[in-house]
Chains A and B, each alone.
Chain A
């Protein structure tokens, strides 16, 4: 029990130290630090934006804008919180601004937008050592669930991605999405339940 507490304390203090270093670097607008952060968070941020907007091309534009905003507003980052939480909140605000400009009525409008070039918003799966049949099956399942995600409302997609892909705590999701904890719980529950029909043959 003591060793677990010590490990938890070690992780917490190293995370706090990392946040402090990031905050200091962002205040200085240190380009080397930003290069490192872009490398470190590239996949997580893009994945979040792809799921949030439903369009790969738009997500890539917002990805770049997010890092420019991080550079410009870096002094606003509070090192009491994890950098990823702040980063996702910045990306989210940019996405919402963009969606409001394009479709002021609702965020959900984006869900129905198909990629103009016809390209899927998701990359094809990595080819490993699995058999061709396994790969086809896996791709098919991925396509099902990806299609299911595209049919969910943006706020449910966001909650599911932050919870299950980014592994954020409920409190962190509430902080990113600027909603109460109860709303986060409800979104996760409803989002996961709504994905049911997209699990081929195994409705939730």
Chain B
């Protein structure tokens, strides 16, 4: 029972040592002398260290490990820094251009949508006026409106498809010849 309590005390002391502020732990003077902030856990630890040589050695060794850990020199080379800076600048420029393009696309889309809405309304009113003037049934001028709206898009789609298939055929015939 007493042994278990002792083990708990060592375990608690070692955890407190390791979790002490890094500066306190790695300073060159005796660790127990640095526990002077008056907190109850530090007072307990200082008292424990006065009587426990193994925990005292643990504290000194932990401090030594930290000092050595800090002495491992890892430094970034000048070329790494300048390469990184130029890569970041290039990417920043790309992102800026991308943002400008997206802004242009957004403005164009808005303008096209507005134009389409206005022209559709104008076309509807125009067809209605013509239908009334020519005394046509409403279904007839409405069909005319539909054809007028759909035909340009259809023609454009067919033209694009034809262009694409022509290009595709040309590519294939080129590869056969090659």
Q: Is B66 an interface residue (CB 8 A)?
A: yes
B105-127 residues at the A interface, CB under 8 angstroms: none
- Cβ of B14 within 8 Å of any chain A Cβ, yes or no, is yes
Chain B interface size band reads 35 or more
> Which residues of B are at the interface with A, using a C-beta cutoff of 8 A?
14-15, 18-19, 22-23, 26, 57-58, 61-62, 64-66, 68-76, 80-81, 83-85, 87-89, 91-92, 95-96
Inside 8 A of B64's CB, which chain A residues have their CB? 199, 202
Q: How far is the CB of A85 from chain B (nearest CB, A)?
A: 16
Q: Can you list 6 A-B pairs with a CB-CB distance of less than 8 A?
A: A34-B92, A72-B95, A146-B72, A163-B22, A188-B18, A189-B18
Q: Please state if A31 and B89 are interface contacts (CB–CB under 8 Å).
A: yes
A164 engages B84 (CB within 8 Å): no
B residues in contact with A138, CB < 8 Å: 71
A23 within 8 A of B: no
Say whether B15 contacts A71, CB under 8 Å.
no
Interchain CB contact under 8 A, A60 and B80: yes
Contact of A189 with B88 in the complex, beta carbons under 8 Å? no
* A residues in contact (CB < 8 Å) with B: 29, 31, 34-35, 38-39, 42-43, 45-47, 50-51, 60, 63-64, 67-68, 71-72, 121-126, 138, 141-142, 144-146, 149, 160-161, 163-165, 167, 170, 185, 188-189, 192-193, 195-196, 199, 202-204
Q: How far is the CA of A204 from the CA of B63 in the complex (A)?
A: 10
B73:A199 contact, CB within 8 angstroms: no
Task: Check if B73 sits within 8 Å of A145, measured CB to CB.
Answer: no
B-chain residues with CB within 8 Å of residue A72 when the two chains form the complex: 91, 95
Pairs A-B, 4 closest by C-beta atoms? A42-B76, A47-B74, A145-B68, A46-B76
Residues of chain B contacted by A164 (CB below 8 angstroms): 22, 26, 66, 69-70
Is B73 touching A124 in the complex (CB atoms < 8 A)?
yes
